[in-house]
Amino acid sequence: MAAGSSPNWSAMANSLAGRVAIVTGAAGGIGRAIVTRLRAAGAAVLATDIKELGDDAPGVFRHDIASEDSWAALRAHVDQRHGGCDLLVNNAAHFDPQPLERTSLASFERHFAVNQKGLFLALKAAPALFAGRQGGAIVNIGSVAGLSGGEGAFAYTASKWAMRGMSRSAARELSPLGIRVNTILPGLIDTPMAAVNPPERTEAIRGMIPQRRIGAPQDVAEAVCWLAGDAAAYVTGAELTVDGGIAA
């Protein structure tokens, strides 16, 4: 945009037509909503998950984010089908809430294998995934648990704190490549993952939310779509809470 000129808001509408997006953890509630929203905005979306998604369906790829070989296979697949990608949404996560005294070493290591190591491999793969494109955007799905001490979910909270630091460092390191990196921090969202919480805990959290409601997966998907588009072209290294105000 030329200095002193007015922005063309119409041109900055969040159309993602012609862009290629990868969404990890696409089998979950938030992941499915993100895939649906990005496709509605015009993006060609590759939905990935370690769970069964229907491997023969178009736009689907079986993917273990904690495996470097799996990331290499994903890159080859994307290069062959699309010639690279413009958007990477790191949504896959492991969530097994336990307090510190009941957290096993195996559970702690599993949280970090998926939530931290998986993100590390994603960010490391990004320059190759985006090669040949005109920059791009990465959106990492964290949690408001990474803003405070998440009582009753020790390992998950620790891993989401780690994600925030990795996202900020990546925003600086990938910016010269034209790649923006931002993080969304959802609060309690109505998904199967959140359903592992005891009902009384869910109701207690609802009572602490200023909006007095649990978020919908679509709330997160809308935030992803905005960060992915040109309207957020000057936004990188940012954290956006989608939590009904609980972190305010």
- Active site amino acids: 156
Which two structure tokens, joined as six digits, stand for 83?
């010639």
d(CA 104, CA 161): 19
Q: How many CB atoms lie within 10 A of CB 69?
A: 9
**Closest to 40 in 3D by CA, of 17, 12, 22, 10:** 17
Residue pointed to by tokens 């290069």: 79
Torsions phi, psi for 83 (to 5 deg): 75, 25
| Residue-by-residue DSSP string for 138-196 | EEEE--GGGGS--TT-HHHHHHHHHHHHHHHHHHHHHGGGTEEEEEEEE-SB-STTGGG
d(CA 95, CA 193): 7
d(CA 145, CA 2): 41
d(CA 187, CA 170): 23
Q: Please give the single-letter amino acid code of residue 27.
A: A
